Structure 1
Amino acid sequence: MGKGGRIVCIFTPYVLTIASLICIVMVGLGCTKSSSSTLDNLYFFRINLQNITNGTSSTTAKITSAISDLAGVSDGDLSAALEEIEEQYNIQDFYTVGLWGYCSGNITNGNDYKTTNCSKPEAEFWFNPLEVWNLEESGLENALSSSVKKELKVYKSVSKWMFIAYIIAFIATIVELVVGVFAICSRWGSCVTTLVSAVAFLFTTAASVTSTALFAVLKGVFKAELASYGVKGHMGKNIYVATWLAVAFSLGASLFWLLSTCCCSGRSPYNHRNTARAVTAEKAPYTYEPLGPYGQPQQPAYTNTAYPPPPPPGHVPMQQQNGRTNAYEPFRHV
Structure 2
Amino acid sequence: MSRTRQDDTPTDVAVERSHDLSEVQIKRATRTRKIFALLSSFCLLLTVIFLILVEVGGTTTSSVRTQIYFINLDLSNIVPLSVPNAPLLNSIARTLGLHDFYRVYLWGFCEGYNGEGVTKCSDPETLYSFNPVEILRSELLAGASIQLPANINDILDLIRLVSHWMFGLFLSGAVLSFVLIFVVPWGIYSRWASLPISILAFTNALIITVACVIATVMFVIFKNVIAGVSELNIRASIGVEMFAFMWIASGFAIITWLIHLGQCCCCASRRDVRTGRRKGNKKAYEPSGNVGTEKPSSRMRRRFWKRSS
Q: CA deviation at 1:26?
A: 1.1
SS in 2 for 1:117: strand
Structure 2: gaps (5+ residues): 1-24, 278-309
Residue 144 and residue 273 in structure 1: after superposition, are their counterparts in 2 closer, same or farther (change >3 A)? closer
In structure 2, what is the Cα distance between the partners aligned to 1:22 and 1:87?
A: 41
Residue 46 and residue 2 in structure 1: after superposition, are their counterparts in 2 closer, same or farther (change >3 A)? same
Q: Kindly provide the CA deviation profile for residues 116-157 of structure 1, in whole angstroms up to 9, marking residues without a partner as x.
A: 222111111122223322358745567123222102222222
Name 1:28's counterpart in structure 2: 55
SS in 2 for 1:201: helix
Asked if the contact 1:3/1:185 (under 8 Å) is kept, the reply is no
Tell me which of 123, 127, 130 is aligned to 2:126. Answer: 123
Tell me which of 247, 264, 269 is aligned to 1:261. Answer: 264
Q: CA deviation at 1:44?
A: 0.6
In structure 2, what is the Cα distance between the partners aligned to 1:124 and 1:9?
A: 36
Q: Please give the root-mean-square deviation of Cα atoms over the aligned residues, in Å.
A: 3.0
Tell me which of 162, 166, 172 is aligned to 1:162. Answer: 166
In structure 1, what is the Cα distance between the partners aligned to 2:276 and 2:155?
A: 69
Asked if the contact 1:53/1:93 (under 8 Å) is kept, the reply is no
Q: Kindly provide the CA deviation profile for residues 210-252 of structure 1, in whole angstroms up to 9, marking residues without a partner as x.
A: 1111111001111112x54232211111111111111111111
Name 2:102's counterpart in structure 1: 95
* Deviating 4+ runs (over 3 angstroms): 52-56, 85-88, 135-142, 268-274
Residue 22 and residue 273 in structure 1: after superposition, are their counterparts in 2 closer, same or farther (change >3 A)? closer
Deviates more, 1:173-182 or 1:205-214: 173-182
Q: CA deviation at 1:24?
A: 1.3
What does 1:69-84 align with in structure 2 at a 5 Å threshold? none
Query: Do residues 220 (structure 1) and 224 (structure 2) align?
Result: yes
Asked if the contact 2:212/2:247 (under 8 Å) is kept, the reply is yes
Asked if the contact 2:107/2:127 (under 8 Å) is kept, the reply is yes
Deviates more, 1:51-60 or 1:259-268: 51-60
Asked if the contact 1:186/1:266 (under 8 Å) is kept, the reply is yes
Tell me which of 214, 228, 233 is aligned to 1:230. Answer: 233
Q: CA deviation at 1:183?
A: 2.0
Residue 40 and residue 54 in structure 1: after superposition, are their counterparts in 2 closer, same or farther (change >3 A)? farther
Q: Which amino acid aligns with 1:248?
A: G
Q: Which amino acid aligns with 2:227?
A: K
Asked if the contact 1:3/1:268 (under 8 Å) is kept, the reply is no
**TM-score scaled by length of structure 1:** 0.65
SS in 1 for 2:64: helix
Structure 1: gaps (5+ residues): 64-81, 275-334
More helix per residue: 2
SS in 2 for 1:229: coil
What does 1:1-334 align with in structure 2 at a 5 Å threshold? 2-3=26-27, 5=31, 6-35=33-62, 37-52=63-78, 57-58=85-86, 86-87=94-95, 90-108=97-115, 114-135=117-138, 138=142, 143-225=147-229, 228-267=231-270, 271=274
In structure 1, what is the Cα distance between the partners aligned to 2:252 and 2:42?
A: 9
SS in 1 for 2:176: helix
Structure showing greater Rg: 1
Residue 257 and residue 271 in structure 1: after superposition, are their counterparts in 2 closer, same or farther (change >3 A)? closer
* Highest RCO, 1 vs 2 (Cα 8 Å, sep ≥ 6): 2
